[in-house]
């Protein structure tokens, strides 16, 4: 019989709480250090503790390509003071670099009023909130859940740093009971999901971006308004996607690790260059951010540096006003992308119909755009007629890949019509 066989969940909670309270409240060897170790294990991202003194509302912080996560750790025996939390909120709001996700780890309950205050305040700087506290009368307190998700880390840290003697076997038994609780697997999966997408503000922006373009590609009137042509391959009346060799070539490019290379789709008018790009994006399991510019829109955007262009487009797509604060936030996100490689493109920028602005000197701008977008893990795709590309090809200093799109064959059109009927 194991030590946990006769232990109830309530007793397990009590044992774990007692063990946690043997730690100091701060420092690498205190509750802050434990929170950093547990969160680091759950996210596979190393957390660094802030130096003593003014910490800007962040005891610890971690950064990845997805975003910045910070936490505040509170080792309390009585209630959590709303006044203290409010001070932390003010520090985050005043920060030059607020995190994408702020975690409150506390050994006591955070009241609904405190949580509401936090959410409302953080919404102003697009910082998401995750509360890992210890409310009474709950089946599995969030903080206890985090401990049980990394039992070895929790046990070793407490055994090494407890200020008073801790019964190691009793702690092992308590965490074992929690790990076998009926709700554990589902709750643990939910918490991992919350932590695997720390940039919830970025996730919201991605969802808005996808919603906009899925709507555009599903309605000819909306596509004509935004893109200057009835580019709506997802519309109910649209022909079924035509399987073409070039589609597989483009798909291979857009699912491979991104590089600073300009992809140019060339072909005659009406051969389906733009449709091919839209169909590939729509078919992606996890489509990247999309910025689709007509030639006229691209010419108007040339005055902006690439980073500002991307920020402005994505902010406006989310329905927000491009304030200085929001532009700065996107600048920090793009800088994080630059520091972390990507397995697949994070963003796809399409410049559609270069030949429609034939007098524009495209080469310098396309080269700058391609270089920058490649540096942040993205791709640039342009479309134009084959004859126009011949004038542009030799003037592009960046690496480039040309994908020639043939005219539709009778067999391809007949196949699409048959599938449509």
pLDDT score at 1: 39
The Cα-based distances of 33 to 21, 40, 153, 156, 166 in angstroms read 13, 10, 11, 12, 18
Report CA-CA distances (Å) from 208 to 86, 187, 211, 331, 342. Answer: 31, 27, 5, 19, 21
Q: Domain coordinates of the chain in residue numbers?
A: 9-198, 201-420
CATH number for the segment(s) 9-198? 3.40.1350
Q: Per residue in 4-53, pLDDT tens?
A: 557 899 999 999 999 999 999 999 999 999 999 999 999 888 999 987 65
The three-class DSSP label of residue 15 is helix
Question: Which pLDDT value is given to residue 375?
Answer: 96
Q: In CATH terms, is domain 201-420 a member of 3.40.50?
A: yes
Instruction: Give the pair of three-digit tokens for residue 202.
Output: 């970025």
Q: Which residues of the chain have pLDDT under 50?
A: 1, 198-199
**Residues making up the chain, counted from first to last:** 421
Distance between terminal CA atoms of the chain? 68
Task: Look at phi and psi of residue 256 and say left if phi exceeds 0, alpha if psi is from -120 to 50, else beta.
Answer: beta
Rounded distance, CA 287 to CA 249, Å? 17
Strand positions, DSSP E, 56-139: 60-63, 68-74, 101-106, 128-132
- Partners of 402 in the beta sheet? 264
Asked whether the domain spanning 201-420 has the same topology as the one spanning 9-198, the reply is: no
Say if residues 216 and 227 touch (Cβ distance below 8 Å).
Answer: yes
Enter the DSSP assignment of 240.
P
Note the pLDDT of residue 34: 97
């Amino acid at each position: 019989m194991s030590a946990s066989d006769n232990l109830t969940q309530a007793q397990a909670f009590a044992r774990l709480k007692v063990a946690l309270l043997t730690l100091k409240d701060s420092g690498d060897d205190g509750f802050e250090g434990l929170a950093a170790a547990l969160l680091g294990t759950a996210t596979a991202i190393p957390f660094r503790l802030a130096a003593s003194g003014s910490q800007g509302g962040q005891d610890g912080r971690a950064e990845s390509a997805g975003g910045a996560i910070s936490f505040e750790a509170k080792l309390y025996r009585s209630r959590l003071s709303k006044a203290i939390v409010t001070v932390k909120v003010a520090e985050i709001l005043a920060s030059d670099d607020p995190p994408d996700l702020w975690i409150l780890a506390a050994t006591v309950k955070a009241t609904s009023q405190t949580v509401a205050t936090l959410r409302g305040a953080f919404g102003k700087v697009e910082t998401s909130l995750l509360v890992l506290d210890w409310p009474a009368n709950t089946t599995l307190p969030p903080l206890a859940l985090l401990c049980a998700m990394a039992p070895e880390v929790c046990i070793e840290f407490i055994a090494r740093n407890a200020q008073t003697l801790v019964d190691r076997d009793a702690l092992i038994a308590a965490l074992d009971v929690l790990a076998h609780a009926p709700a554990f697997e589902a709750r643990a999966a939910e918490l991992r999901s919350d932590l695997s997408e720390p940039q919830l503000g970025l996730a919201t922006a991605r969802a808005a971006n996808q919603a906009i373009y899925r709507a555009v590609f599903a309605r000819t009137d909306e596509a004509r308004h935004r893109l200057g042509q009835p580019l709506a391959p997802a519309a109910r009346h649209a022909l079924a996607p035509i399987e073409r060799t070039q589609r597989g070539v483009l798909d291979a490019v857009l699912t491979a690790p991104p590089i600073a290379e300009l992809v140019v789709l060339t072909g005659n008018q009406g051969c389906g260059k733009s449709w091919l790009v839209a169909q590939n994006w729509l078919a992606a399991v996890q489509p990247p951010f999309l910025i689709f510019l007509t030639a006229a829109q691209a010419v108007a955007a040339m005055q902006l540096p690439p980073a500002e262009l991307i920020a402005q487009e994505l902010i406006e797509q989310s329905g927000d006003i491009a304030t200085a604060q929001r532009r700065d936030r996107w600048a920090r996100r793009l800088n994080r992308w630059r520091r972390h490689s990507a397995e697949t493109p994070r963003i796809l920028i399409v410049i559609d119909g270069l030949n429609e602005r034939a007098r524009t000197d495209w080469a310098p701008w396309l080269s700058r755009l391609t270089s920058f977008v490649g540096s942040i893990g993205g791709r640039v795709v342009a479309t134009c007629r084959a004859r126009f590309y011949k004038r542009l090809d030799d003037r592009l200093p960046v690496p480039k890949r040309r994908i020639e799109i043939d005219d539709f064959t009778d067999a391809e059109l007949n196949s699409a019509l048959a599938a449509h009927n």
